[in-house]
Amino acid sequence: MRDSARSYELLEESDLVRLDRLADAELDDFFGRNAHLSHWRERLRFIALAQGGADHYLRHERGIWDLDLILCFAQHPDDKPRHYLRRSPSRWDWGRSKFGRNPYDPPGYAGRAVDIMLWVIPARHDPYEGLQEWLEKRRASKPNPARQPDLAHEPVVLIRPDR
């Protein structure tokens, strides 16, 4: 049975390009407000669609409640350990589109919500190894996705650097 709050329209390459531009706007906004963290910008390794949106992109079945973007930055060995650059996600309005609007989103939204999280992953010579290590560690710390859902139990679709 289909959930009427979800959009079942297909995510296409042009939608990933738009999400990539939205990630750049988020980065400009975040580092504009947090100049003391500007050195992190050069550590950006990945921009990816995650969770339900990534699952729908790959399988075309789940539908889209909202879109979740993760921006992954490499942890420098000299930095204090941290898991994220900001505790809560930033929310953006996708705007009018083929995806419609989730009726549970704020009344001012014209389209689907886009949640953007800034995560810190291990710095590795091969950044893909750092991403893989981070996801595996998250998956191991939450072994039961039914009780503790986590983005590590969902697909991740890279937008940048490789689609």
Residues 6+ apart with CB under 8 A from 72: 44, 45, 46, 47, 48, 119, 120, 121, 130, 131, 134
Q: Alpha carbon of 93 to those of 44, 96, 117, 146: distances in Å?
A: 23, 9, 15, 28
In DSSP notation, 5-66 reads TSB-PPP-HHHHHHHHHHHHHHHHHHHHH-GGGGGGGGGEEEEEEEHHHHHHHHHS-S-BS-
**How confident is the model at residue 82, as a pLDDT?**
73
**How confident is the model at residue 101, as a pLDDT?**
96
Q: Which residues does residue 111 pair with via DSSP β-bridges, in sequence order?
A: none
**How confident is the model at residue 87, as a pLDDT?**
76
**How confident is the model at residue 8, as a pLDDT?**
97
Tens of pLDDT, residue by residue, the chain (163 residues): 889 999 999 999 999 999 999 999 999 999 999 999 999 999 999 999 999 999 999 999 999 999 999 999 999 777 776 777 877 899 999 999 999 999 999 999 999 999 999 999 999 999 999 999 999 998 888 878 777 778 888 999 999 996 5
Helix (H) or strand (E) holding 116: strand 113-122
Gap between the Cα atoms of 21 and 25, Å rounded = 6
**How confident is the model at residue 151, as a pLDDT?**
83
Handedness of CA 129, 135, 136, 138 (dihedral sign): positive
Tokens 């909202």 locate to 66
